[in-house]
Amino acid sequence: MKLLILTNLVVGLFAGAGWAQEPARVSSPEVGADRRVTFRLLAPKAHEVLLTGEFMPGTRPLERRDDGLWSVTVGPFDAEIYHYNFIIDGVRTIDPGNPRVKTGSTPSTISSVLQISDARPAFYDGQPVPHGDIRTHWYQSQSLNSLRRLTVYTPPGYDRDVQTRYPVLYLFHGANADENAWHQLGRVNLILDNLLAAGNARPFIVVMPFGYGVPPNAADRQGQNTAMFGKDLIGDVMPYIESRYRTLADRDHRAIVGLSMGGGQALSIGLNHLELFGSVGGFSSGLGPAPDFPKTYASLIAHPDAANGQLRLLWLGCGTEDGAFAASKGFSDFLTEHGIKHTFRSSGGAHTWMVWRRYLYEIAPLLFASTAAPTR
């Protein structure tokens, strides 16, 4: 009894000093029925708080109350998934009232996540349909002499039917992201689950490796990144996947697609290895200087008829508000000039997941569409 009384006394003393008190709960962001959004931040000692996000140009200041609570209401906005940050006295940070956070391989990508939903579910929303699995693997890369990680999506029913073999999509993330980006931010698993349930795509496995062949912060070695990543992909990742999953291991049943940095990797690796990949795609691709195209894609343009005969699909897409649009359009023109058949998808939008989720939704039904059904 004495111990209980003493314990309560000590806790009471700490609480009275403010040591055991948790900070007040601040609701942020709060989405209204009219799709206007209120952001709040408790920061009594701050002098300025700004809001920046994908849903608006520039920044918006938050207003301070006497108790140190800052807030601003903006919108209305379209139903979408957006990323945003607060800038507190010049320091960019996440919203401490929001547990949903975008992360990656470098600090520059960390943001808070805002989802505005519609009455009807979006193509990337979870719905009451059969769901595939997301699996994580560690593997030892002999090419890079390092322990690395990759993520795999398997379609619904993969484990029940142990005889069926599947095509494979190798899907790459962009700069500052990692092997989790396509399912955490791109929602690849939910997009494919919904397409499969609607009968609009055939089932396939998706492999999402870590896209850096050199460390993300090694600025002096970034010119080597695609080459080193390509060695790991072909020498380690593909053999690893084909030895552990029931794949259809031929070029007609392999696709390679990526966004931004990963788009440049997919195009460079895929179009120089048509013996391995029958379908190639790039979203908002990091392509490098246009004068390098003839050298980078020399094997492709040397025999355009042969390349066209091998390529089941070559698909490029970029938003018109994206800084990569001019390069993407220039690459499309380069392919046209050299007689390489392809699709160039121009859409609204900037360099964001809002665009890339839509592109995946559009390209997924085209992958493997005319190949034979999965074999047993």
pLDDT above 90 as % of the chain = 88
pLDDT at 25: 80
pLDDT at 12: 41
The closest alpha carbon to 237, from 153, 162, 151, belongs to 151
CB-based contacts of 227, cutoff 8 Å, min separation 6: 213
Question: pTM for this one?
Answer: 0.91
Query: Would the pLDDT of 1 be above 60?
Result: no
Sorting pLDDT into bands at 50, 70 and 90, what band is 220? low
Structural domains in the chain plus CATH codes: 23-116 (2.60.40.10), 133-366 (3.40.50.1820)
The string over 218-239, giving b where at least 16 C-beta atoms fall within 10 Å of a residue's C-beta and e elsewhere, is eeeebeebbebbbbbbeebbbe
For residue 301, CA distances in Å to 271, 314, 340, 345 come to: 10, 14, 7, 21
Tally Cβ neighbours within 10 Å of residue 40. Answer: 20
pLDDT in tens, 163-172: 999 999 999 9
CA–CA distance, 222 with 219 (Å, rounded to integer): 5
Could you tell me if 263 and 285 are in contact, meaning their C-beta atoms sit under 8 angstroms apart?
yes
pLDDT in tens, 302-355: 999 999 999 999 999 999 999 999 999 999 999 999 999 999 999 999 999 999
